Amino acid sequence: MGGLSKKAFQLQTLSEQNEQQKLLIDSGNLLFKRDSITDGVSQERLTAKSIIKIYQKLGYDGVGVGPLDLSGGIKLLRDSTDNGFPWISANIMDDTGNPLFKQWISKKTQNTEIVITALTAAPRKMVPGIQINKWQTILPELLAQIRKVKKDPFIVLLSSLNHEENSQITKQYPEIHLLISTDQRKGNVSPQLLNGCLLTQTAKQGKYQGLLEITLGKDRRWGQNSAKQLAGLQNKLGSLNWQLRRLQKKTTVAENEEKYKKTITRLSSEKKKLDSQIDSLKKAIAKEKTGEIANDQYTYRFIGLKKSMGDDQPTIEELNKLNSKISELHQKERANNRKKRSDGSISSHAHMTGYRVCSACHPAQAEFWQATRHAAAYATLRQRKKHLNLECLPCHLTLDIQNATFKKQPRKQLLSFPEELQSVGCESCHGAGKNHSISPERYRLVQLPDENICLACHTSDHDDNFDYNAKLQQISCPAE
């Protein structure tokens, strides 16, 4: 989510820098992270709506429906389609077997029609009101339909299917020219030819932006990029020339002549070969400039969205609005929670006791801890008005990380954590300590938290240079 304002900024910069026609597409799985989202207002639904708004503002041409976009039911998607959001899915049908979304869209470039279609993988949980048809039945009809109205189109498939299925598709339908996948198990996949089709994707959750620059040729076949190839060959020639000159200088010393002769002969013949390769490539390029390029060509780049990048202001504003809505919702939720159960008091946190109790017996460690950022982790969220945001709370509160069941507790409970647990407290690292506090000799706590404890929060998303040994020194409590 936070990355969206950077993504927007980056897209704007790119379109300012590039004159060429651009096509903004995504293979989907944008909206949710889980399979099934309950009805009613929730942080997840509010967030999904904001994502839709932001993508639409950015001017996406087409977005494939991914199975995770269906987690909140079909209404959200239908409503956004009615508002003009460019969802595409060739194989999601309503109860009567009619397609629910546009099955494909097209965009005209100077002399080529680009057709974008999408296939949706079956979601893990059934979604009421829809059927997901198999690609085996959909694709033949669809491609025939496209062929009827478009002459020699450049066909792009946005696919949330798995790699085996994608591979099958490229084998059976060579007219599909570019396949953008959204395989959750894979990260960035550099463009690679698979049965003549170019296949690529960026890592999930929008940490990267993929930029694929395509020069359309006359034949719908991927060729090499001659300009790039030429640069490579010229580089090689440069270093060959340099080696040759160096050796020739050395041979001016008499006794070296024999020694280097063989190498010089070998390098010279290599140079000859390179010269002629460069020559014919130059001719080909000259031809391309006057006439038409024979093959489609591409270059690509993945752009990591780093913290230091700029932010798009309108997107920031949209995200701030979202955060206010979330806070408002959760303020009510928290008040209700506290009324219903005596939640919000430490007694409802079975094995936890909070930093104050620990401090009574371990004043030196408590004093040290108070001065670390961990003690202020919740205050940090409060300052940014993010203390009612369920996305942030899990790492800025004291949770019993060593107890695997903590992950299963309803996340809304995080909203009403008592003050004693509003920080990365003692028990985040040493484990739940209620029993220990009553009977320290009988119930021992972990003395030295291992790296996995830290990594539960210091994930690469939130701390891109976590070094256990170095960081441990900064936060190790002093000895008794």
38-46, 100-108, 284-292, 355-363 -> range binding ligand HEC (CB under 6 A): 355-363
Task: Examine residue 373 and tell whether it contacts ligand HEC (CB under 6 A).
Answer: yes
Nearby residues of 10 by Cβ (< 8 Å), 6 or more positions away: 209, 303, 305, 309
Q: Is 471 in the site for ligand HEC (CB under 6 A)?
A: yes
Q: Which residues contact 164 (CB under 8 A, 6 or more apart)?
A: none
**Contact in structure between 198 and 192 (CB atoms under 8 Å):** yes
Q: What's the first-to-final CA gap in the chain, in angstroms?
A: 43
Q: Which two tokens stand for residue 254?
A: 């008499």
Total of chain residues touching ligand HEC, rule CB under 6 A: 61
Tell whether residue 469 is a contact of ligand HEC (CB under 6 A).
no
Residues constituting the chain:
480
We find the least distance from the C-beta atom of residue 103 to ligand HEC, in angstroms, to be: 37
Compute the least distance from the CB of residue 405 to ligand HEC, in Å.
16
The pairs formed by 456-462 with CB atoms below 8 angstroms and a separation of 24 or more are 456/395, 456/401, 457/394, 457/395, 457/424, 457/428, 461/207, 462/395
Does 179 bind ligand HEC (CB under 6 A)? Our answer is no
Q: Could you say which residues in the range 390-429 bind ligand HEC, by CB under 6 A?
A: 391-392, 394-396, 401, 424-429
Burial class (CB in 10 A: 0-12, 13-18, 19+), 404: exposed
Binding test (CB under 6 A) with ligand HEC, winner from 376, 411, 412, 418: 376
- Cβ closest to ligand HEC, residue 31 vs residue 377: 377
396 neighbors 377 (Cβ within 8 angstroms): yes
- Residue 194: count of CB within 10 angstroms of its CB: 15
Alpha-carbon span 328 to 334, nearest angstrom: 10
Stretch that binds ligand HEC, among 126-134, 192-200, 246-254, 360-368 (CB under 6 A): 360-368
Of 467, 454, 348, 338, whose CA–CA distance to 401 is shortest? Answer: 454
Among 107, 386, 411, 412, binds ligand HEC (CB under 6 A): 386
Selected binder of ligand HEC within 139, 388, 421, 457 (CB under 6 A): 457
Select 75 or 462, whichever has its Cβ closest to ligand HEC: 462
Stretch of 12-20, 52-60, 314-322, 386-394 lying at the interface with ligand HEC (CB under 6 A): 386-394
Of the candidates 64, 123, 210, 433, which one interacts with ligand HEC according to CB under 6 A?
A: 433
Residue in 63, 358, 414, 421 binding ligand HEC, rule: CB under 6 A: 358
Please report whether residue 146 would count as binding ligand HEC according to CB under 6 A: no
**Contacting residue, 112, 120, 181, 353, with ligand HEC by CB under 6 A:** 353
Closest alpha carbon to 299 in 210, 196, 200, 212: 212
Q: Does 105 help bind ligand HEC (rule: CB under 6 A)?
A: no
Angle at 57 between CA 56 and CA 60, to 5 degrees: 50
d(CA 28, CA 67): 8
The CB-of-38 to ligand HEC minimum distance in angstroms stands at 21
Using DSSP's 3-state secondary structure scheme, residue 213 falls into: strand
Buried b or exposed e, range 348-370, using 16+ CB within 10 angstroms: ebeebbbbebbbeebeebbeebe
State the residue number with the nearest CB to ligand HEC.
433
d(CA 322, CA 418): 25
Q: Shortest gap between Cβ of 370 and ligand HEC (angstroms)?
A: 7
Contact mark string toward ligand HEC, 51..70, x via CB under 6 A = --------------------
Residue 350 binds ligand HEC (CB under 6 A) = no
Q: Does 22 bind ligand HEC (CB under 6 A)?
A: no
Does 321 participate in binding ligand HEC (rule CB under 6 A)? no
- Which residues make up the interface to ligand HEC (CB under 6 A)? 2, 353, 355, 357-362, 365-366, 369, 372-374, 376-377, 380-381, 384, 386, 389, 391-392, 394-396, 401, 424-430, 433, 436-437, 440-441, 444-445, 447-449, 453-454, 456-459, 462-463, 471-472, 474-477, 479-480
